[in-house]
């Protein structure tokens, strides 16, 4: 259900920003709002408190953000409160970010290797990803996991390419267990 809520509201904000031709401006505001939500536990508690009325929450959003963010973005936040979806606010904003990245063909890639990659290896990897995907640029996230022994795991959205020595050993082990001896 939560995924549906973030999709519905995130798509609505994306469509509105596309219609108003201010996708970049809303994108920057949404990134800043996510930081505000992450850094202010009291704000989250206030917005999710059951004894504080919707009207008070709306008035607070109006007072806090009016003139600092676009009216459409403020209206979006207030609409979440009106529909009692403020608990999903961050997820909706994150969905919007992901939607804009897809629209602009910016891929988000997670690479896990057994050893740290040098800058030349990172550049070659990015070049290969750009060559073999629909994206025009990538946000790269690198991690090191010594247990992989060698190779790398690349994850873009729900696609995973695992070329690690560890996974090859695990596959070989499974295949050996499947061999029936006569």
pLDDT value of position 3: 83
| pTM (2 d.p.) | 0.82
pLDDT value of position 181: 64
| pLDDT confidence bin for 160, thresholds 50/70/90 | very high
pLDDT value of position 2: 59
Structure tokens at 92: 């909706």
The 10s digit of each residue's pLDDT in 54-88 is 999 999 999 999 999 999 999 999 999 999 999 99
Distance CA 143, CA 115 (A): 9
pLDDT at 175 over 90: no
Mean pLDDT across the stretch 162-174? 89
| pLDDT confidence bin for 182, thresholds 50/70/90 | low
Among candidate residues 84, 5, 89, 2, the one with its CA nearest the CA of residue 50: 84
Distance CA 2, CA 7 (A): 9
pLDDT value of position 96: 97
The 10s digit of each residue's pLDDT in 16-41 is 999 999 999 999 999 999 999 999 99
pLDDT value of position 179: 83
pLDDT value of position 176: 85
Mean pLDDT of the chain: 93
**Roughly what angle, to the nearest 10 degrees, separates helices 41-48 and 23-39?**
100
Distance CA 140, CA 60 (A): 37
Mean pLDDT across the stretch 87-92? 96
């Amino acid at each position: 259900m939560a995924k549906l809520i973030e999709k519905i509201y995130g798509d609505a904000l994306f469509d509105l920003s596309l219609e108003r031709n201010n996708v970049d401006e809303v994108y920057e505001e949404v990134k800043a709002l996510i930081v505000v939500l992450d850094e202010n536990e009291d704000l989250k508690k206030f917005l999710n408190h059951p004894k504080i009325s919707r009207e008070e929450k709306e008035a607070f959003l109006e007072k806090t953000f009016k003139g600092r963010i676009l009216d459409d973005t403020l209206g979006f936040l207030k609409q979440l409160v009106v529909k009692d979806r403020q608990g999903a606010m961050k997820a909706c904003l994150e969905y919007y970010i992901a939607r804009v990245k897809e629209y602009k063909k910016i891929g988000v890639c997670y690479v896990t290797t057994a050893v740290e990659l040098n800058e030349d290896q990172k550049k070659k990897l990015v070049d290969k990803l750009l060559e073999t995907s629909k994206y025009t640029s990538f946000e790269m996230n690198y991690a090191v996991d010594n247990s992989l022994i060698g190779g790398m795991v690349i994850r873009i959205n729900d696609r995973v390419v695992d070329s690690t020595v560890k996974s090859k050993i695990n596959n070989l082990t499974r295949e050996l267990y499947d061999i029936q001896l006569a």
